[in-house]
Amino acid sequence: MVNYTVAEIAILLDGKIEGNAALTINKVSKIEEGSENSLSFLANPAYIPYLYTTKSSAVVVNSDFVPSQAISCTLIKVKDAYQSFARVLEIYNQNKIEGEGISTQSHIDKTAVIGKNVYVGPFSSIGKNVLIGYGGKICSHVYIGDHVEIGNDVMLYPGVKIMANCKIGNKVVLHAGVVIGSDGFGFAPQNGNVYSKVPQTGNVVIEDFVEIGANTTIDRATMGSTIIRKGVKLDNLIQIAHNVEIGENTVIAAQTGIAGTSKIGRDCMIGGQVGIVGHITIADKVKIAAQSGIMTSIVNEGEVVQGSPAFGKMSYSKSYAVYRKLPELNTKIYQLEKELEKLKQSLPIE
């Protein structure tokens, strides 16, 4: 991390200082593992005891926090300590990529147009008629195909692949191994169990402020575009098929798979290992629990579902409570059947 003073960090976070504003900060750490010249944060009350023993030079805290005993560190008081420290980590992460300029070991086609202050690492390849905005960082072994358009301040980690004709917005982060615009899984069955490949002629459009985790793959559309809307956050190891559309600010956890042509609403939260079939629609603000299987459209905004096939979470919880007791219920039914049989035998024969 580049050296910052406490005063400079407070300005970045719009915070108020209680202590020594001239202290130098050059690293970040957990509050319980703090050391000299490090910056920590305190948002969870469970970690308050560490504030009185930490060796961190400065700690970011909520503006209404008041220590109950003496402290040795400097406090930076902010509106939201968790969000503010996330901003610090973002700056720290950006500073880890210290490369500048364009590596002589990279390949850039003469028709490509690259904006100011863009870093291109060794062994990266940029194709014909590519447009790249200003301020981006393109690490080593990145492949950018022909006619790709990339916005400003984009971060492409090592091994990212962006295939031809795809469009990437501003302030997008693609982590290591992400593949954008790979072929969609399109095959038409023929006689004799033979499959004929359907050409995938579309592209992928990723809007501004999207972040995509390592080794996630997003297929190009058969025709038109696979679209990832503004502010979407995708975890590692996610598969998104051709012609899928994901709405603004939706977040999806690892190992989820979304089949072709499905439309996901905005502000949705999708847990890990969820499977979503093709050609369905999911409404805005829907929450899907981990390992659920979505077989039909979800039309009600804000619905919370779980299970495979998934249905309402409250119904699922009640059903699962019964399911867990099935062995006990089966034993009781067996006992009741025996008692009923004995009762029948004891009755007089008419």
Amino acid 96: pLDDT: 67
pLDDT over 90 (residue 345): no
Amino acid 321: pLDDT: 84
- Average pLDDT of span 146-168: 97
Q: How far is CA 166 from the centre of its chain?
A: 20
**How do residues 133-149 score in pLDDT, each as one tens digit?**
999 999 999 999 999 99
- Average pLDDT of span 234-248: 98
Amino acid 350: pLDDT: 60
pLDDT band at 98 (very low <50, low <70, confident <90, very high): low
Per the annotation, the verdict on 147 as an active-site residue is: no
pLDDT over 80 (residue 168): yes
pTM of the model: 0.80
Structure tokens, 193: 């169990």
- Average pLDDT of span 163-188: 96
- Average pLDDT of span 17-28: 94
Place of tokens 């961190």: 56
CA distance 40 to 36: 11
Buried b (16+ CB within 10 A) or exposed e, 133-171: bebbbbbbbbbbbebbbbbbbbbbbbbbbbbbbbbbbbb
**Which has the closest alpha carbon to 178: 207, 206, 146, 149?**
206
Q: Is the dihedral of CA 206, 212, 214, 219 positive or negative?
A: negative
Tell me the pLDDT of the chain averaged across its residues. 93
- Average pLDDT of span 28-43: 95
Domain 4-96: which topology?
A: 3.40.1390
Amino acid 93: pLDDT: 74
C-alpha separations of 312 from 180, 274, 277, 282, 295 in Å = 33, 15, 18, 14, 13
**How do residues 193-221 score in pLDDT, each as one tens digit?**
899 999 999 999 999 999 999 999 999 99
Amino acid 314: pLDDT: 85
At the fourth CATH level, the homologous superfamily of domain 107-314 is Hexapeptide repeat proteins (2.160.10.10)
Find the catalytic residue in 107, 141, 175, 242: 242
pLDDT over 70 (residue 173): yes
**How do residues 281-325 score in pLDDT, each as one tens digit?**
999 999 999 999 999 999 999 999 998 888 787 888 888 888 788
pLDDT band at 95 (very low <50, low <70, confident <90, very high): low
Q: Under a CB-based contact definition with an 8 Å cutoff, are residues 115 and 152 in contact?
A: yes
**How do residues 263-282 score in pLDDT, each as one tens digit?**
999 999 999 999 999 999 99
